[in-house]
Structure 1
Amino acid sequence: MTSVLVMVFAAIALMVTGHLLFTYIPFRTIGNTALNLAGQVDSDILIFILAGFVAQLIDGALGMAYGVSATTFLLSFGVSPVAASASVHASEIFTSGVSGWMHLKFGNVNSKLFKNIVLPGVLGAILGAYLLFSFEEYLYIIKPIVAAYTLVLGILILRKVLRKKVKKKPVKRLGFLATAGGFLDAIGGGGWGPIVSSTLIAKGRNPMYTIGSVNLAEFFVSIASSSTFVAFAGISHWQIIVGLILGGSISAPIGAIMARRLPVKTMMIIVGIVVIIVSLRLIVMTLPF
């Protein structure tokens, strides 16, 4: 029943997206009534749908980088940093919910790991969202620090793949790791997956169960950060949010299936490469030119 509901929701999102595609590209003459979606939707929503699709596909398959991917994608198309951050956090409630649901259905979740990271992650997200609202002008300092950390993690993951055996090490202070992940995710517009998943995988944790557990916990972390953000700063930019949700809902089931079927070594290589690329991109974006 769970998988059926998720698939139905994804199918509805796909139909709405298809309707928008035929409305704006290039058949303007096919019914002007489609142009009246709350009087606020225009062809730009297709960009936001694409951003949500790509970001959630990466996040669902690799357990990370939805916020980072979606935020950088939106910024590259001229969306303001404030609008991008607010919209990504709001849409993450829905996209991470669908993704976490699918991971749970496919058996990708380690219940013990999930319970150990969800509450600390929520507390960190609330604190991070509050500080972001209070000290938004210092965001340019925090982002490159987070990016440098995740860059090191990506290199460590690839280094472990090249070894014949990856020795599993216990992750000490798991609660602290989750708190830091939730905090930096709220502060930097992304980072829960890259920080938590990358650290756990770098320590030799099974990528499939790590990705599934972190994705499910991300749903609650997203609710916490978004609720705090809305309480203090309000929310707008509904077209961006709807576009991200539609695109993410379509690709969420695909990402969960990919996480289940990809070989462990292949997943670790992909995770390492994605983390390095995203981290380098964030570092470059923060450099003064």
Structure 2
Amino acid sequence: MERENDSLVVSEEGRTRNYSGRGQFEEPAPQSATAVQWPHFLAGQHAKPVRVLLVAPDPSIQRVIAQELLDDRRIQLEAQANTLREGRRLLMRLEFEVLMVDVCLVDGSGFELIEEAKKHRSTPEVIAISARLDEAQALHAFDLGASGYLVQTAWLQSYAQAVLHVVNGGAAVTPTLARRLLAHLNHSRANGNPVRPPTGRATLTERELEVLQLIALGNVGAAIAKQLRISPQTVNVHIKSIYRKLQVHTRAQAVTCATNKGLL
């Protein structure tokens, strides 16, 4: 990542993407006196901006989102964290209107923070963030009370606009993901079936899948911890969660069950 002309530039697999802070593909704010003013009855006034707590493990992604939020005077970035533990600490200490959290944190699942946030005294809105376009994860986040789900690599979206949407009673979903969810809805209705999350990866988080894949390759706790750069204790937490979700009692059973479900 580098900065050019007050913009953040992120290189991804040989491609260069420029984030100007106004939102991806968002037009520059009008400069004339006739520019449309933000309605006074909506949350996000300059005198009382929307307070946001951002929890994301990737420093580059965190900087990109943070810059866009800071560039909008209707939003106040209250605090940032990159782990579940730090997020919980901020959750207990701060008042805020919107939580933006990555579903895959280095020391646990962002879904845990979503659940805890919905019990917070300030009853914040929640926007889940993910590196993957995953319908199952999105539906799980919505089930837990999230009002938005944004895929980090998507172009046609704005983090700042997403915050303003959810805090004013709307929803914020990456357009491509919304199209997929609509396709699932239409397919279910056409077949007379209730809408259910897609099978397969719906049961495990990204980190749990990584741990399970390493288990399937014959790795033990210490080796898994080293490869994923987490503590052995965190590995054990993930393994216990895998056992509970798959309803198994051994690593061999977990691998067999995951293989049958198409997870491996």
Confirm or deny a common fold (TM above 0.5).
no
With normalisation by structure 1, the TM-score equals 0.27
Which structure has the highest helix share of the two? 1
Structure having greater relative contact order (Cα 8 Å, sep ≥ 6)? 1
Larger relative strand fraction: 2
